[in-house]
């Protein structure tokens, strides 16, 4: 499972632009930043908005184009075997508690329902595309996510 961070334009939240990007309808003239995205075709399995709402763009059994040139543990082409989960956010902006709650719920559901993901590692885009990608960024609280994923008995101690 690959965790990403995205905002369009960068650092701005809300609005239709992430949906437009993942459905290949983003107007390259809608914002100066969008010109660099003209013609790009990317997708993600899931997006978790700032309020915790989940949007699915690609069925989980299909390939999404979220990882780009990537490698994990010596295996290239992460799009071929991973699930991409985008969080609406930016590298240096803290993610919301609603996002962490929903992300933990989504991961638990994926692990229960899809046997191939039962023990799948959870990594950041920056880990599979080092030097090329930095998301979900320094603001993503990995220890907090691990705590949310811990069994309830372990969290009470």
Average pLDDT over residues 104-127: 97
Angle between helices 97-113 and 142-149 (to 10 degrees): 50
Rounded to an integer, what distance in angstroms lies between the CA atom of residue 20 and that of residue 17?
5
Q: What is the pLDDT of residues 58-77, one digit of tens each?
A: 999 999 999 999 999 999 99
pLDDT band at 19 (very low <50, low <70, confident <90, very high): very high
Q: How confident is the model over 25-35, as pLDDT tens digits?
A: 999 999 999 99
**Class of 2-151 per CATH?**
alpha beta
**pLDDT > 70: percent of the chain:** 97
pLDDT at 154 over 90: no
* Tens-place pLDDT, residues 42-56: 999 999 999 999 999
What is the average per-residue pLDDT within 133-155? 91
Query: With contact defined as beta carbons under 8 Å apart, do 30 and 17 qualify?
Result: yes
Which listed residue (20, 86, 88, 127) is catalytic?
A: 86
Which whole number is the average pLDDT over 107-112? 97
- Kindly indicate the confidence band of residue 152, based on its pLDDT and cuts at 50, 70 and 90: confident
Instruction: Give the start-to-end residue ranges of the domains of the chain.
Output: 2-151
Q: Which residues of 55-75 are buried (b: 16+ CB within 10 A; e: fewer)?
A: eebbeeeebbebbeebebeee
Q: Is 86 a catalytic residue?
A: yes
pLDDT at 65: 96
């Amino acid at each position: 499972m690959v965790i990403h961070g995205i905002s369009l334009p960068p650092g701005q939240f809300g609005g239709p632009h992430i949906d437009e990007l993942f459905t290949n309808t983003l107007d390259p003239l809608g914002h100066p930043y969008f010109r660099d995205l003209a013609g790009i075709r990317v997708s993600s399995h899931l997006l978790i908005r700032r309020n915790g709402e989940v949007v699915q763009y690609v069925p989980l059994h299909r390939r999404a184009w979220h990882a780009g040139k990537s490698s994990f543990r010596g295996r290239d082409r992460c799009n071929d075997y991973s699930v991409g989960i985008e969080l609406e956010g930016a590298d240096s902006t803290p993610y919301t508690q609603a996002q962490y709650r929903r992300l933990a719920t989504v991961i638990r559901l994926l692990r229960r329902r899809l046997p191939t993901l039962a023990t799948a590692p959870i990594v950041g885009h920056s880990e599979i595309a080092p030097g090329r990608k930095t998301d979900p960024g320094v603001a993503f609280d990995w220890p907090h996510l691990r705590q949310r994923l811990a069994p309830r008995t372990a969290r009470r101690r």
